[in-house]
């Protein structure tokens, strides 16, 4: 039996409502994002992961903080779990990107790998580093680990681990809910998807 890893997207940020590409930018959580972090902490208190990991970006660290307090654990910061950089889309909405480069959004939507934003991190590179980080976490034999990272990085990572073409990441995994949980079982090179995008009760 392999190691189980719970992977959650960070809570809602101030750019969420505008659908602005955050990428490597630092963006604060909203009040709803903080409630989602508390919901993740309640979930963690029930399932009791034995180790916590997160992206170095503040929105991920703020999201995992309540779980760390509830469990009495210190999250390990993993640089490879950071969000992808979106190049010319970084910090912009789709309309703002179109104003800079007409047609770029349509190329991206048609094929988010071949048509990735100019100046963006190569999706293949992001997928490999995300998968490397998750496999390393599983290899350490924590029993059950909780990881908080980012929407695009996680979807690319899932594709890489599950053998799904990267160009399909936006259609196979349309979006991860904020603080929603996906569970993987990893045994060497074998990865099983046990549950996907489990929403948490934020009441």
What is the set of active-site residues?
10, 83
4 among the known binding-site residues?
A: no
Q: What is the DSSP letter of 30?
A: -
**8 Å CB contact between 182 and 43:** no
**Nearest to 12, CA basis, from 27, 23, 25:** 27
How long, in residues, is the chain? 203
CA distance 124 to 165: 10
CA distance 72 to 78: 19
Q: Write down the residue that tokens 């976490």 correspond to.
A: 137
Residue list for the binding site for substrate: 59
State the binding site.
59
């Amino acid at each position: 039996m392999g190691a189980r890893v719970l992977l959650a997207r960070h809570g809602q940020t101030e750019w969420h409502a505008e659908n602005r590409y955050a990428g490597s930018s630092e963006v604060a959580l909203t009040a709803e994002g903080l409630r989602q972090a508390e919901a993740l902490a309640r979930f963690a208190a029930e399932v009791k992961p034995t180790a916590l990991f997160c992206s170095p970006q503040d929105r991920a660290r703020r999201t995992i903080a309540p779980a760390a307090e509830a469990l009495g654990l210190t999250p390990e910061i993993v640089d490879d779990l950071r969000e992808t950089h979106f190049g010319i889309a970084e910090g912009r909405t789709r309309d703002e990107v179109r104003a800079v480069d007409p047609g770029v959004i349509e190329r991206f939507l048609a094929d988010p790998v071949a048509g990735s934003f100019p100046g963006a991190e190569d999706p293949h590179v992001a997928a490999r580093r995300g998968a490397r980080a998750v496999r390393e976490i599983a290899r350490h034999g924590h029993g059950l680990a909780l990881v908080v990272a980012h929407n695009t990085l996680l979807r690319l990572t899932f594709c890489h681990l599950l053998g799904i073409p990267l160009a399909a990441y936006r259609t196979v995994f349309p979006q991860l809910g904020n603080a929603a949980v996906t569970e993987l079982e990893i045994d060497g090179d074998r990865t099983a998807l046990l549950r996907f995008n489990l929403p948490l009760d934020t009441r």
